[in-house]
Structure 1
Amino acid sequence: MIHVWRILRHEKKWSAYVKKLNNEKDKSETPNLAHVKGDGDNPKQRPVGHKRAKDERNGKRPALEAISAVEKKLDKFLEVTNKAEKMTEVQQSLASKNLEAAKINHKSAHEKTKAKMLDLYRELLCTPTSDLGVEALAERSKAMESMRLALFSKDN
């Protein structure tokens, strides 16, 4: 059986089997067997079988490297997608803040216009009318009426 051992001693399946036997015997006892060359993989991870290795070699199944490369690309894609979603959320919040600022600016401009109209109305009320002609008095009364309606209507 030595010739079989010489052939199998470096195979992954054999090293996994030896590890399993050693773990079953005694976990604290170190094995006295000849050093078996292995890659020191986790014993839970099984080595690639003959059919799978053959399929990967012939191109029927994707190799592990190809699968891991696809997984990496998928992870990058998901990461970029998450970043894009976060950027969209930030842009939407900025747009809503800009809209609120525009509304506040519009309201402020409206208030300034109303204040100027009120000052002009007050000035028209306080100016003497004795020097004005009939047409000027009619214009003044029309202007004051339209300002009064704009400034003191029930809707405002």
Structure 2
Amino acid sequence: MQTERYGTRDQAYSAWHRAQSTRRYVGIEEAVRLSMIDLDGALYVEYDDQDREPLALIETARDVGQATKACTVTARLAQRSGLPAYVVLYQLGNEANPADLSQPDILMFRVRRIWPQPEAEWRLLTPRSWAGALLQIRRWARAKLDSVAANDPMW
């Protein structure tokens, strides 16, 4: 059994992902659409804000300079579900998140897609870039979901 590395679950990504935080990057109208649920404090499910359909899996961890992040279970869950999946490492800044002063704000992200077409290299993204990428991921996943439903012979 794994032991908790820091003694508590880091809530910085959860605070960063809230609409009052991401509105800084994408505006409040788009920020409220960035809905997610925390499965265990490290695996998040992006879902459609209207019908609650899951759209993407995102495994997160604090960026402490590690070269890799184990994510085999998340990748396999993505394969089984057909959802895209990503590993996101986040670097904490020294300032508090303005939407939740009890949490440090996030300075930078390192992101890799792990399913489909896994990426070998990390992409370095600003908070603004990652918020925009989340919106793109949602549009792609939503369009794919709509396409599947439109091609369903029962409907």
Structure number having the greater strand percentage = 2
Q: When the two structures are superposed, what TM-score results if normalisation uses the length of structure 2? A: 0.24
Quick check: which one's helix share is greater? 1
Instruction: Tell me the TM-score normalized by structure 1.
Output: 0.24
Comparing both chains, which one has the higher relative contact order based on Cα–Cα distances under 8 Å and sequence gaps of 6 or more? Answer: 2
Larger radius of gyration: 1
